Chain A
Amino acid sequence: MAMALQLEAEKCTGCLQCEMACSYENEGVFNPAKSRIKVFTFHEEGKFAPYTCTQCEEAWCMHACPVEAIVVDMATGAKNVLEDVCVGCKVCTIACPFGTVNYEPDSGKVIKCDLCGGDPWCAKACPTGAITYVDDSDTTYERMRAWAQQAPSAPARFNPPQPKSVQIFDRES
């Protein structure tokens, strides 16, 4: 069974624990600037959204790389950068439609999510469950379920005030 990161923006509080876990696992420092996952804040709407590589099946970055520095990790399905092969040409950063492979000026190479070899630190560090590591065919299951629960059949008056479920509705409406 292949696993994937499931990101649920509606649960995120913007604490950046994931960015620190990621940079610490990969670089040995607490440094959001070197994180493979990035949390965006939309001040005016009061929204936070974590974002990282989706590990596309036909990975654009991998196909674009002229020196074959990006390879598939057979165990996890992650597309990994081989640091000693990468020449820092940045073609992959242009090819990726989502912007989730990035040039890192200190090393002169690119960095991207490698699923931490199957044990994602960001998911372990996230205090709100906004990042989970799940069966990749299930990544939207919880979201569907949340929407289904909003269906009018549930009598609202029996629900005590629950900020989280209200947010889900607000943020996506």
Chain B
Amino acid sequence: MAWTGNVLRVNLTAGTVASEPLNKQWARDYLGQRGLATKYLAEEVDPTVDALGPDNKLIMVTGPLTGTMASTGGRYSVVTKSPLTGAVACSNSGGFIGAELKMAGWDMIIFEGKSPQPVYLSIQNEKAELLPADQIWGRSIWEADGILHKLHQDPDIRICCVGRAAEAGNLYAAIVNDLHRAAGRSGVGTVMASKHLKAVVVRGTRGVGNIKDPLRFMQATEAGKKVLSDNAVTGGGLPQYGTQVLMNVINEMAAMPTRNMREVQFEGAHRISGEAMHEPRQSDGKPNLTTNAACFACTIACGRIATIDKGHYTVQNKPEYWQASGGLEYEAAWALGSDTGVDDINALTYANFLCNEDGMDPISFGATVAAAMELYEMGALTKEETGGIELKFGSAEALTQCAELTAHGEGFGKELGLGSKRLCEKYGHPDLSMTVKGQEFPAYDPRGIQGMGLAYATSNRGACHLRGYTVSSEVLGIPEKTDPLATEGKPELVKAFQDATAVVDSSGLCVFTTFAWTLDDIAPQIDAACDGEWTTEYLLEVGERIWNLERDFNLRAGLTGKDDTLPKRLRKDAANVGPAKGMVNDVHAMMPKYYAIRGWTPEGELTEQTRQRLGL
């Protein structure tokens, strides 16, 4: 077992909730979380629907290991059609709400339709009800969280919520849970707000008990934890520096996209790095970092809890931002910092707080500001259009002003909320948008890490590092080292990472475990918990099936092989320094081989054979 077997279906149009049994065959074919919810979405939603219309559905889903003692077993995902990319969206979050949902007895919640009035869903074990959201609509996530805690009079409820950005139609709005963990990418929060659903409040006291072989499960999870604690990354680098452990490493190898990806190295990286977060500041002698923190069941604890210097211009007169809260992760530090040329760690932490407070993806936000800065510096965007903001690379003030406006959905922030693709099109320079399928890039320059170019171009949710993190192999040598500048062997590497990651994302576990774990560490944990036999080989088949199902959804939605590409800048403008100096990303040299090993046509369509082999 390990699944609860219960699906909660919420019809927002009619205002009804109903319980139905989980489709067990689909759980066997797609495991859980990302895979399972994508199956439901693909079966129930026409991929061509308007992502923000009532016909789109929004699924919150756990994995079979969510809510167990398996290390990091607390994840949940949000699956829907993305308004940013038009492709399938699947955003994964840690924190505690996923486990709480499972403890309440639910594998997933399917939201359909659109509520006439703003509402929120309250779940207390088997009891679920839609309640009016008048008191919290129009408020920030942090405010709403406080109000809901007061209303429910229970300190143990867990909440996920959308902010003012989502309400204003920001296309990369996140769903934030537990105040500062987020299902961050592709605008899943925008879809939630479009349905007039403000929050989900969960309290679960039933627990997770139906483990197939409890003794073997305890032994397998125990062994897994030992591997994590013995590993230098998961047992050392991540707890100490968080994902920010990467900032100096990636910058040194000149794969740090800088100033809208014009350059590949940021001179201010050491000022915004994981190490910098440990340095005591002048004013009060405290470091930016207060402590590390774990998500549910996680024995790694990469999370950053940080404070802003009380004397910093951003918060001088705002004591509400003096408390400790979710601090900079690598991706946020990169997008808000290196990509905009800003090296003021307090300004970045403030912008990051705002992204959490009102639910915005800091990657897409930072990268959109970076694109706007380039437009501004070349004169394509004027001071009149920015509402008076001097939008220059390196300006902390410009960044934090933009963050305030975008988080609140006001003024020029409305335009920034469209994302970099639509913004650059609007101002006549579509080539300056650093996106794939309309979604902004994360923090690894594919000119210096060739495999990542292919991973970005073929990612089913647009540019993303978490769909196939070949950085592991190309930079860190996990599970084995490959040459980051070579294209040979990368199609195979990308496919292997994509399929394995689809499994991890469907299990309830965190992808960061894969710095130490392979599927050989994960399979015994799944096998001991879940009905049926789960070998590494079978899991890889599941991963490949999930990947192809997502691809199929995207093709049906109208995307084609032509969308599997990178912006011109990364294909034509060579890196200016570092080991990749003079190189571009050779994505189209890798593509034919990739399509071939995927079992797709030269145009990137699934062949009938591939469908049959995977049972699609």
Do A and B pair up? The answer is yes
Does the CB pair B297–A170 fall under 8 Å? no
Residues of B near A127 (CB, < 8 A) are 71, 225, 229, 299, 301
Per CB-CB distance, the 9 closest pairs between chain A and chain B, nearest first, are: A31-B207, A29-B207, A29-B209, A15-B294, A46-B324, A33-B205, A127-B299, A46-B305, A44-B323
Contact flag A163-B292 (CB < 8 Å), given A46-B324, A127-B225: yes
Q: Verify if A28 is at the interface (C-beta below 8 Å from B).
A: yes
| Shortest Cβ gap from A118 to chain B (Å) | 19
Q: How many angstroms from the CA of A132 to the CA of B79 in the assembled complex?
A: 41
- CB under 8 Å from chain B, chain A span 84-132: 125, 127-128
Residues of A near B299 (CB, < 8 A) are 15, 17, 127
Of the listed residues B225, B291, B292, the one surrounded by the most CB atoms of chain A closer than 10 A to its CB is B291
Residues of B near A46 (CB, < 8 A) are 290-291, 293, 305, 307, 324
| Shortest Cβ gap from A163 to chain B (Å) | 6
Q: Verify if A51 is at the interface (C-beta below 8 Å from B).
A: no
Of the listed residues B71, B279, B296, the one surrounded by the most CB atoms of chain A closer than 10 A to its CB is B296
Q: Verify if A83 is at the interface (C-beta below 8 Å from B).
A: no
Q: Looking at the complex, which one of A21, A33, A43 makes contact with B207 (CB distance below 8 Å)?
A: A33
Q: Looking at the complex, which one of B207, B240, B291, B293 makes contact with A30 (CB distance below 8 Å)?
A: B207
Q: Looking at the complex, which one of A23, A34, A161 makes contact with B279 (CB distance below 8 Å)?
A: A161
Residues of B near A27 (CB, < 8 A) are 207
Contact flags (1/0) for B313-339 with A, using CB distance below 8 Å? 000000000011100000000000000
Does the CB pair B298–A15 fall under 8 Å? yes
Q: Verify if B85 is at the interface (C-beta below 8 Å from A).
A: no
Q: How many angstroms from the CA of A45 to the CA of B307 in the assembled complex?
A: 9
| Shortest Cβ gap from B352 to chain A (Å) | 15
Contact flag A163-B208 (CB < 8 Å), given A13-B294, A15-B297, A30-B67: no
| Shortest Cβ gap from A155 to chain B (Å) | 16
Q: Verify if A133 is at the interface (C-beta below 8 Å from B).
A: no
Contact flags (1/0) for B237-275 with A, using CB distance below 8 Å? 001100000000000000000000000000000000001
- Name which residue of chain B comes closest to A47, CB basis: B291
Q: Looking at the complex, which one of A14, A34, A44, A170 makes contact with B286 (CB distance below 8 Å)?
A: A170
Contact flag A30-B69 (CB < 8 Å), given A44-B324, A45-B323, A127-B299: yes
**Can you sample 9 A-B contacts with CB below 8 Å?**
A15-B301, A16-B96, A17-B297, A27-B207, A28-B209, A31-B206, A33-B205, A44-B325, A167-B290
- Name which residue of chain B comes closest to A41, CB basis: B293
Contact flag A43-B179 (CB < 8 Å), given A16-B296, A16-B297, A161-B279: yes
- Name which residue of chain A comes closest to B305, CB basis: A46
Residues of B near A44 (CB, < 8 A) are 323-325
Q: How many angstroms from the CA of A15 to the CA of B205 in the assembled complex?
A: 17
Q: How many angstroms from the CA of A17 to the CA of B71 in the assembled complex?
A: 8
Contact flag A15-B207 (CB < 8 Å), given A30-B67, A127-B225: no
Contact flag A170-B207 (CB < 8 Å), given A43-B179, A161-B278: no
- Name which residue of chain B comes closest to A15, CB basis: B294
Q: Verify if B578 is at the interface (C-beta below 8 Å from A).
A: no
Q: How many angstroms from the CA of A98 to the CA of B296 in the assembled complex?
A: 25
Q: Verify if A20 is at the interface (C-beta below 8 Å from B).
A: yes
| Shortest Cβ gap from B283 to chain A (Å) | 15
Q: How many angstroms from the CA of A167 to the CA of B67 in the assembled complex?
A: 29
Does the CB pair A23–B240 fall under 8 Å? no
Q: How many angstroms from the CA of A166 to the CA of B291 in the assembled complex?
A: 9
Does the CB pair A163–B209 fall under 8 Å? no
- CB under 8 Å from chain B, chain A span 25-72: 27-34, 43-48
Q: Verify if B68 is at the interface (C-beta below 8 Å from A).
A: yes
Contact flag A31-B205 (CB < 8 Å), given A15-B301, A24-B69: yes
Does the CB pair A29–B208 fall under 8 Å? yes
| Shortest Cβ gap from A7 to chain B (Å) | 16
Q: How many angstroms from the CA of A146 to the CA of B292 in the assembled complex?
A: 19
Q: How many angstroms from the CA of A44 to the CA of B325 in the assembled complex?
A: 7
Q: How many angstroms from the CA of A23 to the CA of B207 in the assembled complex?
A: 9
- Name which residue of chain A comes closest to B218, CB basis: A24
| Shortest Cβ gap from A109 to chain B (Å) | 16
Does the CB pair B103–A32 fall under 8 Å? yes
Q: How many angstroms from the CA of A47 to the CA of B325 in the assembled complex?
A: 11
Q: Verify if B599 is at the interface (C-beta below 8 Å from A).
A: no
Q: Verify if B60 is at the interface (C-beta below 8 Å from A).
A: no
Q: Verify if B287 is at the interface (C-beta below 8 Å from A).
A: yes
Residues of A near B68 (CB, < 8 A) are 20, 30
Does the CB pair A17–B69 fall under 8 Å? yes
Of the listed residues A28, A30, A48, A163, the one surrounded by the most CB atoms of chain B closer than 10 A to its CB is A30
Contact flag A33-B103 (CB < 8 Å), given A14-B293, A127-B299: yes
| Shortest Cβ gap from B466 to chain A (Å) | 22
- Name which residue of chain B comes closest to A45, CB basis: B324
- CB under 8 Å from chain A, chain B span 45-71: 67-69, 71
| Shortest Cβ gap from B239 to chain A (Å) | 8
Q: Verify if B289 is at the interface (C-beta below 8 Å from A).
A: yes
- CB under 8 Å from chain A, chain B span 141-196: 156, 179
Q: How many angstroms from the CA of A21 to the CA of B71 in the assembled complex?
A: 12
Does the CB pair B290–A30 fall under 8 Å? no
Residues of B near A166 (CB, < 8 A) are 278, 287
Residues of B near A45 (CB, < 8 A) are 290, 323-324
Residues of B near A29 (CB, < 8 A) are 206-209
Q: How many angstroms from the CA of A128 to the CA of B290 in the assembled complex?
A: 17
Does the CB pair A161–B275 fall under 8 Å? yes
Residues of B near A34 (CB, < 8 A) are 205, 207
| Shortest Cβ gap from B320 to chain A (Å) | 10
Residues of A near B294 (CB, < 8 A) are 13-16
Task: Please name 18 further chain A to chain B contacts, defined as beta carbons within 8 Å, in addition to the given A20-B297, A28-B214, A43-B324, sorted by A numbering.
Answer: A13-B239, A13-B293, A15-B297, A23-B207, A24-B69, A24-B218, A27-B207, A29-B207, A30-B67, A31-B207, A33-B156, A33-B204, A46-B293, A46-B324, A127-B229, A128-B301, A163-B278, A167-B291
Q: How many angstroms from the CA of A37 to the CA of B307 in the assembled complex?
A: 29
Q: How many angstroms from the CA of A45 to the CA of B290 in the assembled complex?
A: 8
| Shortest Cβ gap from B482 to chain A (Å) | 31
- Name which residue of chain B comes closest to A126, CB basis: B299
Q: Looking at the complex, which one of B156, B275, B296 makes contact with A15 (CB distance below 8 Å)?
A: B296
Contact flags (1/0) for A117-153 with B, using CB distance below 8 Å? 0000000010110000000000000000000000000
Q: Looking at the complex, which one of B179, B275, B290, B295 makes contact with A170 (CB distance below 8 Å)?
A: B290
Residues of A near B297 (CB, < 8 A) are 15-17, 20
| Shortest Cβ gap from B176 to chain A (Å) | 13
Q: How many angstroms from the CA of A24 to the CA of B297 in the assembled complex?
A: 13
| Shortest Cβ gap from A116 to chain B (Å) | 14
Does the CB pair A48–B293 fall under 8 Å? yes
Does the CB pair A30–B275 fall under 8 Å? no
Residues of B near A24 (CB, < 8 A) are 69, 218
Residues of A near B291 (CB, < 8 A) are 13, 46-48, 163, 167, 171
- Name which residue of chain A comes closest to B68, CB basis: A30
Q: How many angstroms from the CA of A45 to the CA of B305 in the assembled complex?
A: 9
